Chain A
Amino acid sequence: MAGFDKVVNSYADAMAGLEDGMTVIAGGFGLCGIPENLIVEIQRMGVRDLTIVSNNCGVDGFGLGLLLEDKQIRKMVSSYVGENALFEKQLIEGELEVELTPQGTLAEKMRAGGAGIPAFYTATGYGTPIAEGKEVREFDGRPYILEEAIRGDFAIIKGWKADRYGNVMYRHTAQNFNPMAATAGKITVVEVEEIVEPGELDPTQIHTPGIYVDRLIQGVFEKRIEQRTVRSS
């Protein structure tokens, strides 16, 4: 790597430095826009006791579900989990902890984490179990709860195209949590389908500017579909 060039040549280099007990923020919604090869690398590394911040936890045998196989995840921070049998089993047996977080609050926690905002007030969740123990304050007569930002030791991101400087574009709804997650990692690693030279992407079309990105790698993706729904004509 030299100057602004973020490209690394192996997945081992991409995830170098990830250790037991670290927090990893992952982009993706369901199986859409997940950093599938970076997850495979974490599985290969065998690091344990991870806290994973991700809207969902993949499925059995794919995505973050892979990290359940060798019990690498200690805690999930998610809005919706449990579509995988292994997840349910580890949760019931107490091997896995889950902090359920409303989807919009989760996105905002990541955004705030990357934007230097330590906490924010939201009406979401007031009067519900997730408000327990959280500060409540009224603004204009309406109660809000205080939610704290999230930062990760690593953020793992799936993009569509990027230039070598790590300026990233996402494709369709594979964007989802990726832009916020990318801002909230101490080390942000992005894998993309295509890497081009600086100047080849329109600067106005960049979703994640390279300032947030530390490492970039080009990969080949399966892009598994979770709910395959089609119409006949």
Chain B
Amino acid sequence: MALTREQIAMRVARELKDGYFVNLGIGIPTLVANYVPKGLEVMLQSENGLLGMGPYPTESELDADLINAGKQTVTTLPGATIFSSAESFAMIRGGHVDLTVLGAFEVDVHGNIASWMIPGKLVKGMGGAMDLVAGADNIIVTMTHASKNNESKLLDRCTLPLTGAGCIKKVLTDLAWLEISDGAFILKERAPGVSVEEIVAKTAGRLIVPDEVPEMTF
């Protein structure tokens, strides 16, 4: 079975380490906050200028002046800090954020990522995604392995305009956990009940399959 949105978030959460500063993109990455392992302290960074983001506010806590990068109302946790956009991107560009999780349309064996622009469709913008992928060393891309038409999104070369070049090393799809190295995807884990053959069939880019590919457990 392909992973659910929640399982993708749960698997990403296993990569968290105590004391990590983490930036979570919009969509599935946001769900990772729900699965932080017990006993670990992590702080969420929101690129509009907030470190130490808390949950949504109650009705009585609601404050128009306190939002996240998705423009949703949020709260702060004890120890939080608030700063300007320039300061926020100094943290991001300067490599001070320990883990970045974001979605994508396509990734390729060279570590390129396309996530912001589909030619012919209205382009709304890249927001902070180009800064995040250029600045972070530790990025996990979460995405579906193939499109609804069964076309692979893991390619030899991205076909869509890039968000960043040569910056992605880890990809979690609904079918597999893969790493990118030396011009190939390396299959590290597969979703429960998903065969290696299915992953091979749905990966267009060069794929290295080790002798043992453990199955994820939840």
The chain A residues found within 8 Å of chain B, CB to CB, are 29-33, 55, 78-83, 88, 91-92, 100, 102-108, 110-111, 122-130, 160, 171-180, 207, 223-233
The answer to whether B134 touches A29, judged by C-beta atoms less than 8 angstroms apart, is: no
Q: A104 contacts which chain B residues (CB < 8 A)?
A: 47, 85, 88-89, 92-93, 128, 130-131, 135
Q: Is the interface of B mostly helix, strand, loop or mixed?
A: loop
7 shortest interchain CB distances as A-B pairs: A127-B165, A104-B89, A104-B131, A80-B125, A223-B64, A30-B71, A107-B85
Q: A176 contacts which chain B residues (CB < 8 A)?
A: 48-49, 84-85
Q: A111 contacts which chain B residues (CB < 8 A)?
A: 86
Q: A78 contacts which chain B residues (CB < 8 A)?
A: 125
Q: Select the stretch in B50-58, B148-156, B186-194 that faces chain A.
A: B50-58
Q: Looking across the interface, which residue of chain A has its beta carbon closest to that of B46?
A: A173
Residue from the list A79, A92, A171 in contact with B126, Cβ < 8 A:
A79
Q: B73 contacts which chain A residues (CB < 8 A)?
A: 225, 227-230
Contact status of A91 and B71, CB under 8 A, knowing A130-B130, A176-B84: no
| Docked pose: A228 CA to B82 CA in angstroms | 20
The answer to whether B124 touches A230, judged by C-beta atoms less than 8 angstroms apart, is: no
Residue from the list B70, B84, B117, B124 in contact with A227, Cβ < 8 A:
B70
* Most chain A CB within a 10 A radius of its CB, from B62, B127, B134, B162: B134
Q: A227 contacts which chain B residues (CB < 8 A)?
A: 67, 70-73
Contact status of A177 and B84, CB under 8 A, knowing A103-B127, A172-B65, A228-B62: yes
Contact status of A79 and B66, CB under 8 A, knowing A128-B164, A175-B82, A176-B49: no
- Count of chain B residues with a beta carbon within 8 Å of a chain A beta carbon: 52
Residues 118-167 (chain B) with a chain A CB within 8 angstroms: 122-131, 134-135, 161-166
Residue from the list B65, B82, B135 in contact with A124, Cβ < 8 A:
B135
CB B133 to nearest CB in A, in angstroms, measures 8
The answer to whether A81 touches B124, judged by C-beta atoms less than 8 angstroms apart, is: yes
Q: Looking across the interface, which residue of chain A has its beta carbon closest to that of B75?
A: A231
Q: B128 contacts which chain A residues (CB < 8 A)?
A: 79, 102-104
Q: A226 contacts which chain B residues (CB < 8 A)?
A: 67, 71
Q: Looking across the interface, which residue of chain A has its beta carbon closest to that of B62?
A: A230
Q: B130 contacts which chain A residues (CB < 8 A)?
A: 102, 104-105, 124-125, 128, 130
Tell whether B112 is near chain A: CB-to-CB under 8 Å. yes
Can you give 20 A-B contacts (C-beta < 8 A)? Answer: A31-B64, A79-B125, A79-B127, A91-B122, A100-B125, A103-B85, A124-B134, A124-B135, A126-B164, A126-B165, A127-B112, A173-B82, A180-B84, A223-B65, A227-B70, A228-B62, A229-B74, A230-B56, A230-B59, A231-B58
Q: A91 contacts which chain B residues (CB < 8 A)?
A: 122
